[in-house]
Structure 1
């Protein structure tokens, strides 16, 4: 029988202590009244979750547009937690770390998974360098790439780590290869109640996967733009049409090419910024993006924008020349330097706003 949103699993523990539904309300009120700033946010979420309403409102991150408030059904969040539990083999009494802010869906879902699946979860401050018990065994954790970058030397006791929220850089992927945990890149959004697909990354104990694979009860299709359509009846009422162009491998797997609104048409050649950025990563240490700039001859020319680099634009251009596999169309025609990218409140790059600020569109 499928668990309901108004039930708290009898094996659930928060920071080592067992709480039932009513106890958890008292904890939430205490967090709101006496907790640190991040704990107050968690307390407010718990109050919202434990209320009689069958829905709640969640903020989107704003990385691909303006942040907005959307309504999610609590039962859809329960169904998402069950799908994650089934995929990763999570069982009552398993341990987890919650180091994500409860402002957004990813942090909220870590707590929901614990309450629904009966996990023993340690809730720690959601900083760029989260501090947790490095010697304790954990079965599951979710991090953004920045957090993993700072803690990967201390993740040897974490069995499964999902990574999402922003691009995983090539240097971090190389460090993951030398780690002894299992790592998964996630694909999803607030509207799909976090991830609906994952891609296993190469590590010491795990062979990497080329494509994203669906979680249970999720299938994929495409529209006439080659954009992904997510069919997840237990999460969303209708098929969700995304703006992500994919190479669909099957109804449960795909290769992510890039967002349709990022595609650059340069002299009739379609360029996918995300794929070009992957190729440029080995020679650029700082954050960067590629973009299309208006050009009389080409329509759009490919340009590179780098955030506060240590090297000159000329030095970066020289290194790019020697990248194998980079076609002549994928070589930036100009390099712009900027002091600071435009970000969301949780540190994600706002690509469109950054491009506009640099190119003065």
Structure 2
């Protein structure tokens, strides 16, 4: 996704899925459509075709990208239960809100973007189509949005000038404590001005589950756990990973997500199994370290284990610092980072504190902006 210097575009670009004539049209109903708008319309036409299946691509953030053949009916079921959970069922809404607006700000190539289009189709909503950039350009005169899905990175860059929204879905990366605090600070000010406030939900799901199967409210109230949909049953396997049965979608699978299951319907996410660092016999969750370091380093970063003859794996911190830095500037960054780690030693503890710091020009990322940890580290180690 590109970064924009502006936070407003000129006018709303809307696909009206409540209009049967538009749905029947082969031609995109937008004047001078952009490349992104053309791709979105192509997906709409593909989804409305009689072929009962559609291809989905995984992002590749945790391995090689793969293609999944999905039944369109199951994608509709997934869309409908999100609408039901959030009380956005068009039968309930249209009596009081005849214009139901959803917004698409995500790439159409992956499940998150596709599902926003499908939710709009199922709801018969009007879909605002907005270029998927890191800083979202909301249109001037933006109507109230009933449902918006975006990544934590997009939200962090787009809080200023954020439009009136009922529900915000956050996914694609973990929602860190710093951003949760930003959400609270930003929207509590609006509460004081008696403005309508959005409800923010962190999502849990993957391409294989046809979008999210669980939600965690992080604002207006803040929950510590995810709650799965009614048709989903969860369990913890012998390795501590989440397993699930989804009766509505006919799914039975085990994930690579390490969790603490609190009940048949609730769980706490701890991290990815493939990310766990085994250092001197101690299992360390890099996500917990990252949560402590968030917003304290001044650069994009992640924690990963690298091979070590003594410890097996060494807890290592990778910083994305960009191009054209002098040796002195790099040394200053390392010095400041070491001081930050020292200041946080009580929070980090003996085993979680990174033992090595590496400065990289750039991280490998997917099209949707997810850091490809393994690929980044592998390429770095090959150059060492």
Corresponding pairs, count: 343
Matched residue, 2:113: 107
After TM superposition, give the deviation of residue 16 of structure 1 in Å: 5.0
Aligned to 1:347: 369
Q: 2:129 aligns with which of 109, 118, 123?
A: 123
User: What does residue 238 of structure 1 align with?
Assistant: 251
Residue 318 of structure 1: SS of its match in structure 2?
Answer: helix
Aligned to 1:160: 167
TM-score, structure 2 as length reference: 0.84
1:47–1:19 distance in 2 versus 1, CA, 3 Å:
same
How far off is 1:135 after superposition? 5.0
Deviations, residues 176-197 of structure 1 (Å, cap 9, x unaligned): 1122421111111111111111
Q: What whole-Å deviation, never above 9, does each CA across 1:69-113 have from its counterpart, x for those lacking one?
A: 111111111111111011111032432211122111111111111
CA distance in 1, matches of 2:74, 2:142: 34
Deviation of 1:33 (Å): 11
TM-score by length of 1: 0.89
Give, in whole Å, the separation in 1 of the partners of 2:111 and 2:105.
13
For the pair 1:191 / 2:190, whether they are aligned, the reply is: no
Distance (whole Å) between structure 2 residues aligned to residue 14 and residue 84 of structure 1? 22
Q: 2:339 aligns with which of 318, 327, 331?
A: 318
Conserved? CA contact 2:108–2:114, under 8 Å: yes
CA RMSD of aligned residues (A): 2.2
Structure 2 CA distance for partners of 1:215 and 1:14, relative to 1, 3 Å:
farther
Secondary structure of the residue that 1:210 maps to in structure 2?
coil
How big is the shift at 1:340? 0.2
Greater relative contact order (CA < 8 Å, ≥ 6 in sequence): 2
209, 222, 227: which one pairs with 1:208? 222
Q: 1:212 to 1:166 in 2, by over 3 A?
A: same
Q: Distance in 2 between matches of 1:119 and 1:99?
A: 16
More deviation in 184-193 or 123-132? Answer: 123-132
**Partners in 1 of 2:30 and 2:320 — Cα distance?**
38
The alpha carbon displacement at 1:14 in A equals 4.8
Asked whether the 8 Å contact 2:101–2:143 carries over to 1, the reply is no
In structure 2, what is the equivalent of residue 223 of structure 1?
237
Structure 2 unmatched runs, 5+: 1-12, 95-99, 188-196, 323-328
Instruction: Measure how far apart 1:345 and its partner are.
Output: 2.1
1:258 aligned residue (246, 259, 271): 271
1-side partners of 2:111 and 2:30: how far apart? 19
